[in-house]
Chains A and B, each alone.
Chain A
């Protein structure tokens, strides 16, 4: 099962290295990691997604907790969170392919952020599943470049 960890860390130099280094040393694989400032400038919030089948989630969170700069960890329930990711994709869109790309973009509510005669660049926000589905459809048309942020997530309701 996939786990989404919301990790509050002190906003200090080297903290990302400590977290990444811990994962490497203990042999835990990270699926994605996204980090940015939180509501408090002294703290950053990381969203880390990992495969719980591959590694004992209990050990991952306990080891993370041991890092002095890690303040708080939440293992977000899939039902109790809102999650999403931002993706840019550059697709070749020459001739009649262009209409097809635009149609797909429309369905996925992807925004066209750059166009020239040969390529269209789309920006789309959504769950990992949605982004995967989009890429699947675009693939036959010629995906030239993909960049994505990794999932960020937040708990639903008041619970912080």
Chain B
């Protein structure tokens, strides 16, 4: 952009977004958004994807961000448009995803008067944003956009809301690209303290039973290569959180899979027995720790995170390190490379873990009702896509099976609402992911319940000709809630049976997508192949066994040792 060109606020916003490298945004127009949409009409680089509901815009932008590591951008009109974004903003906040949400607002002079379609969106979103702006002057727009992108994507990433009154869009300014930041209170600590890194390296070197516990911070900081090196250097067994899936290849012999409520027996017992727990970029969430007091009872704890407030929030670590995980991991590698280390030190421990993996693999029984085992459907998706698809999920049982039975090998391959657990996330997130990664097969694994929460985005996928593959694990239930009722509430299935379902195959066809139904095992692979080959979106309705449960399971708030369904394969209670 040539310096000091006279632009309208709306045009300046387009220019500023393009200056930040924003190639695509997801949104939905309305009265006060028209000036911006008018400017978009002439935009050269910025593409706008029209969703069918603003929640879809936020999740799509979030999915794009998670798949690419870039900032995702969504937009809405004032009032109901803005409030429709709220669930998506909260989802991004809880999973530390870099999102910029642009909401249009009523005219400045009408703010506070309960004007038509006025909602105080900066107020409403205050507890779920990293930061927010209510832009007062047209001249402030380029600077605000620049700051918003910077805040969203640095330190611990998160959503930023920019609320813009329509008169600010209509005003004029002498535009020039903003490159300066005026953020005296924002200086994320990137470099971990060398003393702490040395102390951590020493503890790692001396540990007899270490475990590496990896969270989303490994992925957001792009630390997978450094972490792999670290794990291999001292042969550290690795457990990942839900958000950490893909940060370490599950095909690696040191991988123990996921830990926590539906984690593997091996990962959970390793954490229970370890003498050193090395947490990189995870936050001791209650779905991971269960009963906090009984979590990792024998372990010294190293906790590294870019957000100082995470350290000591739930667990007081012996060695805290504030810093970017990539830098911290590289620092640890450097220190360890200079230290003597006898391989026998952890030999007994690694043997114990290998034996446990052997004895307690994830497993399930064939359903007795003749319906498909949901776990098998995921195994087939894994096989057909060669561990290489980007998997987006919704929330529920299918989500947990997707963590357990797909083999993840790289970061940004698994995209799921971990922190907020937002049903309806999967489909729009897969739209964003596919737009961000046109080179990849993108599969959305959804439940029959959650799919219907944002099903309207099929129209978006069709209109953008996105080759996403939507796999519905149709069990006729709000399965995860039913599972809790089954296990803890005497099988009183109150309001969890969803008897009246649409015909998902015909529903997909009505939207102009390919619709398929699979009821038999041998139909799975051909259906997947057809869906993947199809140029537009495809929906496969898999009829799975209604009462399958997700095991193992550590009941909420309990100790790892109270795990249900964690018996060795072929022994004990049924696990499906």
Q: Are A68 and B134 in contact (CB under 8 A)?
A: no
Question: How many residues of chain B are within 8 Å of chain A by beta carbon?
Answer: 17
Which residue on chain B has the smallest CB distance to residue A59? B313
Q: Are A71 and B308 in contact (CB under 8 A)?
A: no
8 tightest A-B contacts by CB?
A: A62-B309, A71-B185, A68-B131, A25-B127, A68-B186, A70-B185, A21-B126, A71-B184
**Residues in A neighbouring B309, C-beta threshold 8 A:** 59, 62-63, 65-66
12 A-B pairs in the complex with CB atoms less than 8 angstroms apart? A10-B185, A13-B134, A14-B122, A17-B126, A25-B127, A62-B309, A65-B309, A66-B309, A67-B185, A68-B131, A68-B151, A68-B183
Q: Is A128 an interface residue (CB 8 A)?
A: no
Question: How many residues of chain A are within 8 Å of chain B by beta carbon?
Answer: 21
Which residue on chain B has the smallest CB distance to residue A66? B309
Q: Are A58 and B312 in contact (CB under 8 A)?
A: yes
Count A/B pairs, Cβ under 8 Å.
38
B107-130 vs A, CB cutoff 8 Å, 1 = contact: the mask equals 000000000000000110011001
- Closest Cβ of chain B to A152, distance in Å, is 21
Q: Which of A9, A14, A67 sits near B134, CB closer than 8 Å? A: A14
**Residues in B neighbouring A69, C-beta threshold 8 A:** 185
How far is it, in angstroms, between the C-alpha of A59 and the C-alpha of B309 when the chains are bound? Answer: 6
How far is it, in angstroms, between the C-alpha of A25 and the C-alpha of B129 when the chains are bound? Answer: 12
Q: Which of B127, B184, B307 sits near A66, CB closer than 8 Å? A: B307
**Residues in A neighbouring B185, C-beta threshold 8 A:** 9-10, 67-72
Q: List residues of chain A with CB under 8 Å of any chain B CB.
A: 9-10, 13-14, 17-18, 21, 25, 56, 58-59, 62-63, 65-72
How far is it, in angstroms, between the C-alpha of A11 and the C-alpha of B69 when the chains are bound? Answer: 33
**Residues in A neighbouring B186, C-beta threshold 8 A:** 68
**Residues in A neighbouring B126, C-beta threshold 8 A:** 17-18, 21
**Residues in B neighbouring A68, C-beta threshold 8 A:** 130-131, 151, 183, 185-186
- Closest Cβ of chain A to B40, distance in Å, is 28
- Closest Cβ of chain A to B186, distance in Å, is 5
**Residues in B neighbouring A66, C-beta threshold 8 A:** 130, 307, 309
**Residues in B neighbouring A72, C-beta threshold 8 A:** 185
How far is it, in angstroms, between the C-alpha of A71 and the C-alpha of B187 when the chains are bound? Answer: 9
- Closest Cβ of chain B to A73, distance in Å, is 10
- Closest Cβ of chain B to A112, distance in Å, is 41
How far is it, in angstroms, between the C-alpha of A41 and the C-alpha of B396 when the chains are bound? Answer: 52
How far is it, in angstroms, between the C-alpha of A65 and the C-alpha of B184 when the chains are bound? Answer: 12
**Residues in A neighbouring B313, C-beta threshold 8 A:** 59
How far is it, in angstroms, between the C-alpha of A39 and the C-alpha of B548 when the chains are bound? Answer: 66
Q: Are B127 and A21 in contact (CB under 8 A)?
A: yes
Q: Are A65 and B127 in contact (CB under 8 A)?
A: no
Q: Are B308 and A65 in contact (CB under 8 A)?
A: yes
How far is it, in angstroms, between the C-alpha of A72 and the C-alpha of B122 when the chains are bound? Answer: 24
- Closest Cβ of chain B to A50, distance in Å, is 16
Which residue on chain B has the smallest CB distance to residue A24? B127
How far is it, in angstroms, between the C-alpha of A9 and the C-alpha of B123 when the chains are bound? Answer: 19
**Residues in B neighbouring A10, C-beta threshold 8 A:** 184-185
Which residue on chain A has the smallest CB distance to residue B310? A62
B309-323 vs A, CB cutoff 8 Å, 1 = contact: the mask equals 100110000000000
**Residues in B neighbouring A18, C-beta threshold 8 A:** 126
Could you say which of A10, A14, A18, A68 has the most chain B C-beta atoms within 10 Å of its C-beta?
A68
